[in-house]
A and B are shown apart, each in its own frame.
Chain A
Amino acid sequence: MNIVVCVKQTFDSEAKIQLNQEGFIDESLVKLIINPFDEYAVEEALRLTEAYGGRVTLVSVNPIEPAQALRQGLAMGADSAVWLDCSGIDCADQHIHAELVGTWLKSQEFDLVLCGKEAIDDGAAEFPSRLGEVLDLPQGNTVSGLKMENGKAMVRRDIEGGYEIIELNLPCLLSVQKGLNEPRYPSMRRVMEAKRKKIDRIVPEDLGLSNEKLTPFVRVEAYMLPPPRRAGKILEGTCEQTVADLIRSLRDERTMGQEER
């Protein structure tokens, strides 16, 4: 089975977020990584092709070459990587990413499209379902369990307090969740090999997309740092005293109810 995995390059979560003078996020000291949820997607693709044969192709939309993300996937074992270069357009909108990837995918043969369920930088969780719509594929989001049975995907997806079980014919689109698998650590050798692999670069012109399809639907007005929390305090005293203090404070603040349950 041929599998396409959509990966995103994101800021490392340890990154310190600061705004520069123009009110934009200062990207200078930020470490770039493959979106953690996309790693589960790459791993799942590799497991499936190891079991059933086929190729794993990575695709990523970014204004600069997402080398960290793509080479991590290649080092894990993906066969090829495609960079959809959106530097020539205003691509800060998930619908544009979906149009770009979707249009490119229409020229490709695939049995399965995998994505991480969301990116840790914007946390939007928007791209997978938009892509599912562009490609008119049946979809399953936040998948934490997957089995292939008789050529169909049996999927377990996370919902509040439990799981939904869905059966999907191929081709389909799935976004994956932590818990699906344990991503492999590529060996040093594979990491070095991946550095030599070619990343194919495609621009929107190559895809013949109209400007209308590439107009952002959303616009940033301002970035703001969240208000700082009030200073907290460490309660001192014996265990009994600190707990009593705590309960009293929480009740006084009405954070916790006064009433018996």
Chain B
Amino acid sequence: MAILVLAEHRNNKLRKAAREVVSEGRALADELGEVLFAVLIGHKISALADEVNKYGPEEIYLADDPGLGVYNTETYAQVLEHLVEQLKPRLVLMAHSAMAKDLAPRVAQRVGAGLLTDCVDILRDDEDLSFVRPIYAGKCLVRMKIRTPSQFVTLRPNSFSAVERPGSAEIKAFEISLEMPRAKSMGVEMLEGEGPDLTEADIVVSGGRGLGDGDGFVLVKELAKMLGAAVGASRSAVDAGWASHQMQVGQTGKVVSPKLYIALGISGAIQHIAGMGTSKCIVAVNKDREANIFRLADYGIVEDLYKVIPVMIDQLRNTQAGSRSPKVM
């Protein structure tokens, strides 16, 4: 019996969320006495096998083909479908990424498998697994089981840990003759911006309506850069045109679960909290002491963010330089 994990990669590197998924696959395989198989799909990806190997699968399948160089629902679904047919894994794991949201349900439907997405915990009940996922904007958790022989599960980024367990995986080429897809991949446009992906980042700095002006994001980005953080935005900021919808954190935006979430000028509407409420530590800066965000925040500063952020940047810079700032009382 086997567990199969999809190891997603970007720019010749394993994605952070993929490392978490392979690690969890390894942990489950150990607990259940199963083997762990990983699959890499793409073109010219053999070097990535070394990275995957650090997380201890027994076998790594390489589906390496020019036709797989760019993501396409139909070609990737063909690969997964045939691999699942061959290996008959009891569990297929992926990170809950843009790719998985497109691919997992399609393949699950094709092979007649149950699917649970965006899971934040996996529990063991004898030989059975149950999966916990958030619902109702994170206000409720539901523990569920899958009744089909093959179970498809996607894991929320930042909910599981990446643990290195170097192994000596057998690397196997997975040959497949691909049918031409009907949808044509015309290319990828990456948004400018340094820093980690919002859903995977350890630290997120978000700006809200309290910035008063789109220019405020310059300061937000400066703080984020200092912290190696991703930049997010509230719905108000996005609707005002100060940030792209891809930066929106919240119910109709992205759900993030970083170690640290810094909310600047954000009131803390329920819909925003839906997107960041499971952050391990929440810091809020807002002029309004009554702002809802302070009910949620671990640390709050009631002050004009335009006073706070420069001081924060200053103190971080001074302490990072290794010298204690004489300004700190």
Residues in chain A within 8 A of chain B (CB atoms):
11, 13-15, 17, 19, 25, 36-37, 93-95, 98, 117-118, 120-130, 132-134, 138-142, 144, 154, 156-169, 172, 177-179, 216-226, 229-230, 232-235, 238-244, 246-247, 249-250, 253, 255-256, 260-261
Contact = CB atoms under 8 A, between A and B. Distances in A.
Contacts of A235: 299-301
Contacts of A260: 320-322
Given A15-B136, A129-B106, A233-B300, 12 more contacts: A17-B136, A95-B115, A121-B136, A133-B109, A138-B74, A159-B188, A161-B191, A169-B182, A179-B244, A219-B144, A226-B278, A250-B260
A29 to B, nearest CB: 13
B310 to A, nearest CB: 9
Contacts of A256: 203, 227, 260
A221 B274 CA distance: 23
Contacts of A125: 101, 105, 117-118
B148 A223 contact: no
Contact of A247 (B109, B197, B312): B312
B298 A239 contact: no
Nearest to A238: B329
A222 B142 contact: yes
Interface in B201-220: 203
B329 A218 contact: no
A27 B20 CA distance: 36
Nearest to B274: A13
Contact of A250 (B99, B132, B281, B302): B281
B interface bracket (residues with beta carbon within 8 Å of A): 35 or more
Interface in B269-299: 270-271, 274, 278, 280-283, 289, 294-299
B303 A224 contact: no
Chain A contact residues: over half helix, strand or loop, or mixed? mixed
A218 B270 contact: no
A179 B253 CA distance: 10
A165 B296 contact: no
A40 B2 CA distance: 41
B99 A224 contact: no
A217 B144 CA distance: 11
A226 B274 CA distance: 12
Contacts, number: 268
B176 interface: no
Contacts of B106: 129-130, 132-133, 139
B303 to A, nearest CB: 6
B33 interface: no
Instruction: List the 4 shortest-distance A-B pairs measured between CB atoms, nearest first.
Output: A217-B114, A179-B245, A129-B105, A162-B190
B319 interface: yes
Contacts of B147: 216-219
A243 B114 contact: no
B294 A13 contact: no
Given A124-B117, A129-B101, A232-B300, A17 B140 contact: yes
Nearest to B73: A139
Contacts of A25: 136, 140
A141 B77 CA distance: 14
B248 interface: yes
Contacts of A253: 281
A152 B182 CA distance: 11
A158 B246 contact: yes
Given A124-B118, A166-B184, A261-B228, A234 B300 contact: yes
